[in-house]
């Protein structure tokens, strides 16, 4: 499942590759994944892509009038392709962009001069595919309400998502204050999008290992310094993961790179910190991996 680091890297890359280009063609070969009408999809053609951003586990494509929000769920993947590249199965959405004219959008520094960036004259394609078809693509025409469950970005209402886990406004003081209101086990807490947005099954394991905390510990049992350590571990783990992914992922944005994780899905292997074999339990096909030796 794409989580905050995966989606941050995709959004930064697509911001650099695609903004400033007009949409020349839009198709939905997998219409079941699309929330919106064919007319709404067609109405995007001719609009210029202004911004690509991430909020929690959602990607938002803001055009000069309308927007698209994607919730990739478990198996949704984004691909940047040239139009003549072979189409793989279960492609739900294809957006073809024209050449880029003068455009001075803001790009992440690491994308500067990257070899995978399409040239201004190229006409790149964004494809979204999902082998389980669980993810959803929401077309958001300007001025029209369409609920996006779990989303709380621009154009949506309510207090559905907490602050992004990497948000600058989520300071240690805000963290301490927010965590008091959320009881329960630590793994579930980190995955609770109303507490903090963007963390899923894999990175919650990684963060708790970095913090030396057992995933089944109750939040109410944490000492003040442990609450602080959890915050530091969260920021550090997500930062490092994004830095690794910026190097490892492009140009195959559709591949999920997870081989550098330290505990998640490494049951039975030695803990990289203390050497104890990593424990793993599964519920509803989702695994929790942790070290009994060094996570208390």
Q: Which is nearer to Zn ion, 147 or 275 (CB)?
A: 275
Binding region for Zn ion (CB under 5 A) out of 13-21, 131-139, 195-203, 276-284: 276-284
- End-to-end, the C-alpha distance of the chain in Å comes to 27
Q: How far is residue 205's CA from residue 264's CA, in Å, rounded to a whole number? A: 6
Least distance to Zn ion, CB of residue 219, Å? 21
- Residues in the interface with Zn ion (CB under 5 A) total 7
Least distance to Zn ion, CB of residue 185, Å? 19
Instruction: State yes or no: residue 293 binds Zn ion (CB under 5 A).
Output: yes
Instruction: State yes or no: residue 25 binds Zn ion (CB under 5 A).
Output: no
CA angle 86, 88, 91 (to 5 degrees): 120
Least distance to Zn ion, CB of residue 223, Å? 20
CB 34 within 8 A of CB 100: no
Query: Scanning residues 202 to 231, which ones bind Zn ion (CB under 5 A)?
Result: none
Query: In Å, what is the CA distance from 58 to each residue of 79, 153, 241?
Result: 16, 9, 18
Closest residue to Zn ion using C-beta atoms: 271
List all residues 6 or more positions away from 44 whose beta carbon is below 8 Å from its beta carbon.
23, 26, 63, 66, 68, 95, 139
Fill in the DSSP letter of residue 128. E
Per CB under 5 A, the list member of 10, 139, 230, 271 interacting with Zn ion is 271
Binding region for Zn ion (CB under 5 A) out of 96-104, 168-176, 189-197, 288-296: 288-296
Instruction: State yes or no: residue 27 binds Zn ion (CB under 5 A).
Output: no
Q: Which is nearer to Zn ion, 80 or 271 (CB)?
A: 271
Least distance to Zn ion, CB of residue 105, Å? 44
Measuring CA to CA, which residue among 118, 120, 138, 133 is closest to residue 40? 138
Strand partners, 290: 279
Measuring CA to CA, which residue among 223, 232, 294 is closest to residue 263? 294
Q: How far is residue 144's CA from residue 151's CA, in Å, rounded to a whole number? A: 16
Per CB under 5 A, the list member of 255, 274, 286, 296 interacting with Zn ion is 274
Binding region for Zn ion (CB under 5 A) out of 8-16, 77-85, 176-184, 273-281: 273-281
Q: How far is residue 194's CA from residue 181's CA, in Å, rounded to a whole number? A: 11
Query: For Zn ion, what does the binding mask look like between residues 153 and 192, x meaning CB under 5 A?
Result: ----------------------------------------
> Which pair of tokens denotes residue 64?
């000069």
Binding region for Zn ion (CB under 5 A) out of 17-25, 109-117, 260-268, 286-294: 286-294
Instruction: State yes or no: residue 280 binds Zn ion (CB under 5 A).
Output: no
Under DSSP, is residue 187 helix (H, G, I), strand (E, B) or coil?
A: helix
Q: How far is residue 72's CA from residue 170's CA, in Å, rounded to a whole number? A: 25
Least distance to Zn ion, CB of residue 266, Å? 11
Measuring CA to CA, which residue among 75, 130, 77, 288 is closest to residue 201? 288
Phi, psi of 205 (to 5 degrees): -60, -45
Instruction: State yes or no: residue 294 binds Zn ion (CB under 5 A).
Output: yes
Instruction: State yes or no: residue 22 binds Zn ion (CB under 5 A).
Output: no
Instruction: State yes or no: residue 273 binds Zn ion (CB under 5 A).
Output: yes
Binding region for Zn ion (CB under 5 A) out of 66-74, 125-133, 229-237, 275-283: 275-283
Residues making contact with Zn ion (CB under 5 A): 271, 273-274, 276, 291, 293-294
């Amino acid at each position: 499942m794409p989580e905050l680091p995966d989606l941050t890297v995709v959004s930064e890359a697509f911001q650099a590759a695609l903004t400033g280009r007009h949409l020349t063609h839009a198709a939905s070969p997998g219409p079941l994944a699309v929330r919106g009408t064919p007319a709404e999809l067609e109405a995007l053609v001719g609009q210029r892509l202004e911004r690509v951003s991430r909020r929690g586990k959602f990607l938002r494509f803001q055009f000069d009038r309308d927007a698209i929000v994607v919730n990739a769920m478990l198996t949704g993947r984004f691909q940047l392709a040239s139009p003549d590249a072979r189409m793989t199965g279960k492609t739900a959405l294809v957006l073809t962009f024209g050449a880029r004219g003068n455009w001075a959008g803001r790009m992440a520094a690491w994308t500067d001069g990257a070899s995978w960036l399409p040239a201004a004259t190229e006409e790149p394609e964004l494809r979204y595919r999902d082998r389980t078809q669980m993810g959803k693509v929401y077309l958001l025409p300007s001025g029209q309400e369409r609920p996006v469950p779990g989303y709380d970005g621009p154009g949506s209402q309510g207090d559905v998502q907490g602050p992004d886990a990497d948000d600058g406004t989520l300071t240690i003081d805000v963290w301490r204050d927010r965590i008091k209101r959320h009881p329960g086990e630590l793994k579930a807490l980190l995955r609770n999008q109303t507490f903090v947005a963007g963390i899923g099954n894999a990175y919650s394991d990684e963060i708790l290992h970095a913090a030396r905390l057992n995933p089944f510990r109750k939040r109410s049992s944490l000492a003040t310094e442990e609450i602080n350590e959890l915050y530091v571990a969260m920021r550090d783990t997500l930062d490092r993961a994004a830095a690794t992914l910026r190097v490892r992922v492009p140009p195959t944005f559709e591949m999920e790179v997870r081989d550098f994780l330290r505990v998640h899905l490494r049951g039975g292997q030695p803990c990289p910190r203390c050497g104890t074999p990593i424990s793993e339990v599964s519920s509803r096909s989702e695994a929790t991996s942790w070290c009994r030796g060094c996570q208390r």
